[in-house]
């Protein structure tokens, strides 16, 4: 279970067979290559997230790295943390539920693309021996045009919620990025409408703040958001982010977690 947890704590994807006869899904092309974890920020879901306006941490041998390579109609993720053996997963984003079973957890998981192909939504519903109730995981990954990848995960275990935000940089882009990390692009109103039906409200709220999103909202926009059932807490946050002089968004200083906390986090061990 620990080996599986280490790979899946990085990014939530459904497992599939490595044997694929179809050509590689072209949406994966922009994700191919190797990535390094540079920022990790965790908080309880009762507190609004704070933007990760922090400098890049220096690279080290214990920092997780992920390499993404084509494999049939999906990709293979190879995760390396320090001197530990590499962990490989072959994954596909097809919007279908896939079963997962191991010694501690069982359930289903799915992943699917956004319409623009630069965001990936994921969900898992699990029953784990160590939990008193079901475990729900909601993931939202956003690919930036500047060699950055932002990953948001919201986990609910028996009503206890936590949100984790991770930022990665493409290793080949380190020279261009330099010592500062550029955030994922802001979300649009259409992005919010789409994502609200794919990820949890907590994951979407964290993504809104992390991307520095703001909106020129009209009454018509608010009605449209309500019509597609965007959660009220998400709409409230959109208003607060768009009119910061009129509303105060509760913030909490984001602590940078050490890289090895990836494997030890009590909420993400085993998912």
The whole-number average pLDDT for the span 46-51 is: 51
Per-residue pLDDT, 258: 33
As to burial, measured by CB atoms within 10 angstroms (0-12 exposed, 13-18 middle, 19+ buried), residue 152 is buried
Per-residue pLDDT, 257: 34
Instruction: Show the tokens assigned to 233.
Output: 């807490």
Q: How confident is the model at residue 11 (pLDDT cuts 50, 70, 90)?
A: very low
Above pLDDT 90, what percent of the chain? 31
Q: How far is CA 188 from the centre of its chain?
A: 18
Evaluate whether 196 touches 232 at the Cβ level (below 8 Å). Answer: no
User: For every residue of the chain, which 3-state class applies, written as one string?
Assistant: CHHHHHHHCCCCCCECCCCCCCCCCHHHHHHCEEEEEEEEEEEECCCCCCCCCCECCCCCCCCCEEEEEEECCEEEEEEECCCCCCEEEEECCCCCCEEEECCCEEEEEEEEECCCCCEEEEEEEEEECCCCCEEEEEEEEEECCCCEEEEEEEEEECCEEEEEEEEEEEHHHHHHHCCECCCCCCCCHHHHHHHHCCCCHHHHHHHHHHCCCCCCCCHHHHHHHHHCCCCHHHHHHHHHHHCCCCCCCCCCCCCCCCCCHHHHCCCCCCC
- More confident of the two residues 248 and 82: 82
Q: What is d(CA 49, CA 226) in angstroms, rounded to the nearest whole number?
A: 23
What confidence tens digit (pLDDT) does each residue in 102-128 have?
677 888 888 899 999 889 999 989 888
Per-residue pLDDT, 74: 79
Q: What is d(CA 35, CA 25) in angstroms, rounded to the nearest whole number?
A: 20
What confidence tens digit (pLDDT) does each residue in 167-201 have?
888 887 655 544 455 568 899 999 999 999 999 99
Q: Is the pLDDT of residue 56 over 50?
A: no
The conformational region for residue 4 under phi > 0 = left, psi -120 to 50 = alpha, else beta, is alpha
What pTM was computed for the model?
0.76
The whole-number average pLDDT for the span 194-209 is: 95
Per-residue pLDDT, 260: 27
């Amino acid at each position: 279970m620990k080996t599986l947890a280490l790979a899946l704590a990085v990014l939530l994807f459904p497992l599939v067979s490595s044997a694929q006869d179809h050509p590689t899904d072209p949406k994966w092309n922009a994700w191919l290559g190797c990535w390094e974890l540079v920022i990790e920020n965790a908080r309880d879901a009762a507190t609004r997230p704070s933007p990760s306006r922090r400098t890049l941490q220096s690279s080290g041998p214990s920092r997780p790295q992920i390499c993404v390579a084509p494999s049939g109609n999906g990709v293979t993720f190879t995760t390396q943390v320090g001197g530990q053996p590499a962990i490989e997963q072959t994954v596909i984003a097809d919007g279908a539920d896939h079963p997962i079973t191991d010694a501690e957890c069982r359930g289903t998981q799915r992943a699917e693309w956004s319409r623009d192909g630069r965001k990936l939504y994921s969900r898992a519903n699990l029953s784990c021996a160590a939990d008193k109730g079901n475990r729900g995981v909601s993931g939202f990954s956003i690919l930036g045009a500047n060699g950055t990848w932002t990953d948001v995960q919201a986990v609910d275990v028996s009503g206890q919620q936590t949100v984790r935000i991770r930022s990665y940089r493409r290793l080949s882009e380190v020279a261009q990025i330099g010592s500062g990390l550029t955030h994922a692009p802001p979300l649009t109103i259409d992005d919010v409408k789409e994502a609200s039906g794919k990820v949890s409200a907590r994951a979407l709220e964290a993504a809104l703040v992390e991307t520095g999103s703001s909106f020129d909202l009209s009454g018509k926009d608010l009605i449209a958001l309500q019509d597609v059932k965007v959660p009220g807490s998400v709409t409230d946050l959109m208003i607060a982010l768009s009119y910061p002089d009129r509303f105060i968004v509760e913030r909490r200083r984001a602590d940078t977690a050490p890289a090895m906390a990836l494997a030890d986090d009590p909420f993400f061990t085993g998912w």
